[in-house]
């Protein structure tokens, strides 16, 4: 288990090293201490309760990808894939669908009845009712792409999540029953799945897609030093405000629509992340294209 800033910095460091041909493509599995991860253009003061974060010892980081706030701790299965652009679909819509469907296939093998919901969600459907269980995001550069995702393994610590997060300035605790009603988790459908089994299944499933071999490895000391340096930057100025608006909580929205009835008055709709929120660096090639 590591701080959220360290885990977030892993993607940043590997995005750079893979892009510069210093590292091979990587699949990263991380275990998180309680963390609020904000999208790169999301309001801190409208969507985070600072006092509650201090009370629960929850770190707040601002990631490079767009989207909305997520709460992560050891009840989530969190993973990333970092590789050269030619390993991924070139269209953002197809990239999101491809990545989510890979997770859907893996979870379906374990009898968790999930499906993809555009643009980047994994849900459990019951008639016309949906429970969100997973989501994804991405950071795109001209040299490498990092796609990351999380799946809710267990609904433990929901009370902490509803205390540390807000939606457009509104506290969430009084709506906890409604919120619980739209959240799904793995163990409710298959309590016999260990999180380590999900990790193994994801790696083997991804490798199978490319008929690729993989090597298990740990971070080197030099890599850890670099990641720690990046991590310290991710927690600086996390509250920078200026032009930022409320984006809400990722788990509460599907294709922009708020699923929690009582919260719709505070933020009925949030525009899903667009291409420009994912791209942090696009360099023209020598032909100016």
252: containing domain: 4-281
Pairwise CA distance, residues 203 & 199, whole Å: 6
What is this structure's pTM?
Answer: 0.93
Question: Does some domain include residue 287?
Answer: no
275: pLDDT strictly greater than 90: no
Closest CA to 147 of 104, 69, 95: 95
Question: Does some domain include residue 230?
Answer: yes
What is the total count of domains within the chain? 1
Query: CATH number, domain at 89?
Result: 3.30.930.10
Q: What is the mean pLDDT of residues 134-155?
A: 96
Question: Does some domain include residue 288?
Answer: no
Pairwise CA distance, residues 58 & 72, whole Å: 10
Pairwise CA distance, residues 83 & 102, whole Å: 16
Question: Does some domain include residue 286?
Answer: no
Pairwise CA distance, residues 213 & 86, whole Å: 18
Q: Which helix (H) or strand (E) holds 76?
A: strand 76-83
* Per-residue model confidence as pLDDT tens digits over 18-57: 999 999 999 999 999 999 999 988 999 999 999 999 999 9
* Per-residue model confidence as pLDDT tens digits over 150-196: 999 999 999 999 999 999 999 999 999 999 999 999 999 999 999 99
Mapped onto helix, strand or coil, the DSSP state of residue 156 is: coil
């Amino acid at each position: 288990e590591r701080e959220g800033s360290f885990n977030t910095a892993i993607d940043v460091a590997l995005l750079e090293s893979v892009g510069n041909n210093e590292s091979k493509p990587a699949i990263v599995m991380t275990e998180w201490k309680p963390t609020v991860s904000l999208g790169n253009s999301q309001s801190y003061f409208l969507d985070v309760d600072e006092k509650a974060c201090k009370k629960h010892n929850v770190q707040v980081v601002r990631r490079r990808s767009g989207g909305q706030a997520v709460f992560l701790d050891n009840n989530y299965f969190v993973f990333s894939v970092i590789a050269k652009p030619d390993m991924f679909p070139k269209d953002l819509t197809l990239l999101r669908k491809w990545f989510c469907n890979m997770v859907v296939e893996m979870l379906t093998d374990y009898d968790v009845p999930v499906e993809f919901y555009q643009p980047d969600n994994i849900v459990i459907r019951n008639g016309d009712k949906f429970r969100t269980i997973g989501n994804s995001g991405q950071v795109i550069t001209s040299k490498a792409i990092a796609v990351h995702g999380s799946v809710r393994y267990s609904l433990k610590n929901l009370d902490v999540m509803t205390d540390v997060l807000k939606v457009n300035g509104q506290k969430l605790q009084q709506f906890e029953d409604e919120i619980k009603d739209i959240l799904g988790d793995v163990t409710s459908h298959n309590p016999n799945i260990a999180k380590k089994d999900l990790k193994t299944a994801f790696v083997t499933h991804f490798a199978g897609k490319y008929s690729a071999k993989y090597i298990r490895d740990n971070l080197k000391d030099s890599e850890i030093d670099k990641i720690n340096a990046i991590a310290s930057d991710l927690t600086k100025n996390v509250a920078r405000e200026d032009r930022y608006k409320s984006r809400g909580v990722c788990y509460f929205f599907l294709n922009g629509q708020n699923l929690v009835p009582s919260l719709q008055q505070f933020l009925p709709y949030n525009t899903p992340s667009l291409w420009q929120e994912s791209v942090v660096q696009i360099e023209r090639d020598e032909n100016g294209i």
